[in-house]
Amino acid sequence: MKYVDLMIEKHPELICVKESVAKAVELIATTHKDGGKILLCGNGGSYADCEHIAGELLKGFIKKRVPEGKELKHLTEGLGEVALKLQRGICAVPLPSVSGALSAYINDVEPSLAYAQLVYAMGRPGDLLIAISTSGCAENVVNAAKCAKALGLSVISLTGESGGELLDLSDVCVRAPENTTYKIQEYHLPIYHAICLEVEDILF
């Protein structure tokens, strides 16, 4: 995996996540190939990371991902030549963006279950949840992972060194080798960039 190798070349200390990153890449690619979607959740900086990751998946990252074959034919019939500006994407939903439903549920029902509610409403067996928590113990993220597993979704988590509660709830737990929040977040960026690059390379 060339992008994982490049990540490790720049950050040698991330050699410890090479195996889990490779598994995460495989799981995301398989989910997409099988028709599943990707849900993402997190708080604070991890909330922003959900948006960032979704942005790399929903459109071209470093490739153009031009539509082709029958798909291109149908698009050009509907849109004309402008269809060539569209890019093939991976269905990825950053749950923090569903702010109206989140705020309603937080106000009306139970804040710690807000992400779990969205997973329950939107998730289907064969989908995948990416749960991001530097401690691995954020209650609303942990509850989302528990709900995902109960519904038959796979779970990838991005955490700090311990993995926290998410470690045992995840099919793949990518544990950045740090214990301080901002340092974990600084590692999460190259980790998920490498994951998204590898997934794009496999699928497109």
Domains in the chain, CATH or no CATH each:
2-203 (3.40.50.10490)
- Residue 47 has which token pair? 């909330």
Q: What is the pLDDT of residue 16?
A: 98
**Rounded CA separation 94/162 (Å):** 25
- Residue 185 has which token pair? 């977040």
Q: What's the whole-model pTM score?
A: 0.96
The torsion region of residue 26 among left (phi > 0), alpha (psi -120 to 50) and beta comes to alpha
Element (H, E) at 197: helix 181-203
Q: What is the pLDDT of residue 68?
A: 86
**Rounded CA separation 182/129 (Å):** 23
Q: What is the pLDDT of residue 72?
A: 85
Tell me the average confidence (pLDDT) per consecutive run of 10 residues in the chain, 204 residues long: 97 98 98 98 98 98 92 88 92 97 98 98 98 98 98 98 98 98 98 98 96
CB 147 within 8 A of CB 116: yes
Q: What is the pLDDT of residue 81?
A: 87
Name the residue type at position 76: T
- SS3 assignment, position 36: coil
**Rounded CA separation 8/147 (Å):** 33
